[in-house]
Chains A and B, each alone.
Chain A
Amino acid sequence: MSADLAYSTRRFTFSAAHRYWVEDWSPAQNARVFGRLTVVHGHNYTLDVTIRGPIDPQTGMVIDLGELKRIVGEAVVERFDHADLCADPLFRGRVPTTENLAVVLWELLAPKLGADRLWQVRVWEDPTLYVDYRGP
């Protein structure tokens, strides 16, 4: 057995506004495809960040959860909590669906945590819907 891999997941929350809108489309077409989602509304998002790695023999940990909290806090929570996703440059030309949000969160976190360590982001839009993304 080469590495004693384990998974550590920490949960974060942020509340943000968004709406679904494609600039190149007419209002009628946006309404037809997205319905009520074209109106600005918001969610209490929950983000579960999972790190995969070997258990360090010195610390007994996969990752220092304090480090994880700091990185995700700075990169994600400070950026998106009580913010309008549609106003963020990362969503310019990209509809802030839960699917796209999962991809964006991965793109923000992978360079900071290391794509080899970051295993999955799971973003819950509400208690009935979540999206998992494990990288390209």
Chain B
Amino acid sequence: MVELTRVYHFSAAHQLRNLSLSPEQNAALYGDCHRPHGHNYYLEVTVAGRPDPVTGMAVDLTRLDRAVSGAVLAEVDHHALEEVPALRGVITAGESLARAFWRILVPALPAGSLRRVTVVETAKNRFDYEGGERCSKS
């Protein structure tokens, strides 16, 4: 089994806010991040498979690119994440975005192939989501 990771890019505006809280509460909870701002995001999508004995390919990259572009990038690139229908109700923190993108991508990819979704918000902030199963450190 090999794991193939493709790195994608999008730019978007967002702000951290919980709609059940007042503006003052959001400002207190999220600090500077409650103000509308933006990032050059990187989205890393990892899928697993066995290289086909003839083609040598474990992953149909064209299909992967099409799925990620259609289901995610086209929705979020140069948008405000809070306005994206597919992200309704999501607090757009990196980890929540990674989970939301995971949920969008699972049905768009071959069954059982998705291993990890990583949202790189800035060079300093990176969020991985692997489906949420509890696992112990070995």
A94 to B58, CA, bound (A): 13
In the assembled complex, the CB of A106 is this many whole angstroms from the nearest CB of chain B, namely 9
The A interface, classified by DSSP as helix, strand, loop or mixed, is mixed
Which B residues are in CB contact (< 8 Å) with A94? Answer: 56
Centre residue among B2, B3, B5, B58 by max chain A CB count within 10 A: B2
Q: Are B51 and A130 in contact (CB under 8 A)?
A: no
Q: Are A99 and B51 in contact (CB under 8 A)?
A: yes
Interface residue A98 (Cβ < 8 Å from any Cβ of B)? yes
Number of B residues near A (Cβ < 8 Å) is 16
Number of A residues near B (Cβ < 8 Å) is 21
Of A22, A127, A128, A130, the residue contacting B55 (CB under 8 A) is A22
Q: Are B51 and A128 in contact (CB under 8 A)?
A: no
Which A residues are in CB contact (< 8 Å) with B51? Answer: 97, 99-100, 103
Interface residue B84 (Cβ < 8 Å from any Cβ of A)? no
Interface residue B19 (Cβ < 8 Å from any Cβ of A)? no
In the assembled complex, the CB of A20 is this many whole angstroms from the nearest CB of chain B, namely 7
Q: Are B6 and A129 in contact (CB under 8 A)?
A: yes
Q: Which of B21-57 contact A (CB under 8 A)?
A: 49, 51, 54-57
Of B8, B49, B56, the residue contacting A100 (CB under 8 A) is B56
Binary per-residue interface labels of chain B (72-85) against chain A in the complex, 1 for a CB within 8 Å, 0 otherwise: 00000000000000
Interface residues of A (CB under 8 A from B): 20, 22, 24, 33-34, 94-100, 102-103, 127-133
In the assembled complex, the CB of B41 is this many whole angstroms from the nearest CB of chain A, namely 14
Q: Are B5 and A129 in contact (CB under 8 A)?
A: yes
Of B2, B3, B7, B49, the residue contacting A127 (CB under 8 A) is B7
Q: Are B2 and A133 in contact (CB under 8 A)?
A: yes
Of B5, B7, B49, B56, the residue contacting A96 (CB under 8 A) is B56
